[in-house]
Amino acid sequence: MSPEKSQLSQGEKEYVRRLKNEIRDLIEVTQPGPDSTAWNKTIEILQLELVDWEKNYAPNTPILHEFFDIRQTIWTGGSLRLHNRNQEFLEKHGSQLITKLKPAIGLIIDIVGRPN
């Protein structure tokens, strides 16, 4: 069973698109490592897009933040050990939890973008 995504109004969809672009712009100009502004905007999108944010995802915010940091590092090209970091992340949190968080993780990948 896949979690429901919120039905956003056209204005909310435009707002989410603008936030995603702002996050990508922030990530492009920052050095590898955490960026709290980009993360805060990412949380705002997750809260809008995931109907059950408070119940199913908010308790795991530190894990999602860790994943965001990995994706940000990938985007900025700042780590030579990315495969190891991804593997460590999976081993540390377990496949069951990662599967549960998959909708939020997918949104984070979409928000941060994929490096070229």
Q: What is the DSSP letter of 5?
A: B
pLDDT above 70: residue 34 = no
Of the listed ranges 22-26, 33-37, 41-45, the least confidently predicted one is: 33-37
* Nearest CA-CA partner of 65 in 45, 39, 86: 39
Gap between the Cα atoms of 6 and 111, Å rounded = 16
Highest mean pLDDT (candidates 29-43, 64-78, 86-100): 86-100
Of 15-19, 85-89, 112-116, which one has max mean pLDDT?
A: 15-19
pLDDT over 50 at 1, yes or no: no
The answer to which of 3-7, 17-21, 37-41, 45-49 has the lowest mean pLDDT is 3-7
Is residue 5 assigned to a domain?
A: no
Residues 63 and 101: beta-carbon distance below 8 Å = yes
Please tell me the total count of domains within the chain.
Answer: 1
Is residue 2 in some structural domain? no
CA–CA dist 74, 95 (Å, integer): 21
Residue 92 lies in a domain: yes
pLDDT at 38: 86
Domain span including residue 70: 10-112
The pTM for the full model equals 0.75
| 101 falls within a domain | yes
Question: How does residue 60 score in pLDDT terms, banded at 50, 70 and 90?
Answer: very high
For 2, which DSSP code?
A: P
In a domain, 28, yes or no: yes
